[in-house]
Amino acid sequence: MKPYVFEQTRLVQPEDLDELQHVNNVRYLQWVQDVAEAHWKSLAPAEIQQQFIWVVLSHFIEYKSPVHLADEVLVRTFVGNASGPKYDRHVEIWKAKEDKVCVKAHSVWCLLSAESHRPKKVTDDVRGIFEDLSS
């Protein structure tokens, strides 16, 4: 399995900051969720998006280096292991100019039926959206 990497670039805005003039930890969590949603919407065909929805079961975030106003960051995500309805997702937030990882996040997401809101096993069709299954 080789996961497809999805990336977004962001420029830190004043509303992203906390009282220490660093990006607020809540904002990082929002970026983690935003990039996951954008990854899904950019790759999954409309008919699959209509069949399934995702919910977060857990987040773990490690803060390695602060990010400040006007820093350009690269938000990079890829999937890890799938087990039953659960899928691991990894997000890294890099300072673009310094080529430095500032934040690492690991989340566990659960696939649900859009109709019943009940957990659904991650199928090869869904895995194929995020991974190169031929490797």
When divided into structural domains, the chain yields a total of 1
What's the pLDDT score for residue 135?
Answer: 61
Q: Each residue of 81-108: b (16+ CB within 10 Å) or e?
A: ebeebbbbbbbbbbbeeeeeebbebebb
Which tens digit of pLDDT belongs to each residue from 68-77? 999 999 999 9
Q: Nearest 5°: phi and psi at 125?
A: -65, -45
Please report, for the domain that includes residue 6, its CATH number.
3.10.129.10
Which tens digit of pLDDT belongs to each residue from 45-61? 999 999 999 999 999 99
What's the pLDDT score for residue 62?
Answer: 98
Q: Is the per-residue pLDDT at 114 higher than 80?
A: yes
Domain span at residue 56 reads 2-132
Per the DSSP assignment, residues forming a β-bridge with 103 are 63, 93
Which tens digit of pLDDT belongs to each residue from 86-99? 999 999 999 988 98
Rounded to two decimals, the pTM is 0.94
Which tens digit of pLDDT belongs to each residue from 10-22? 999 999 999 999 9
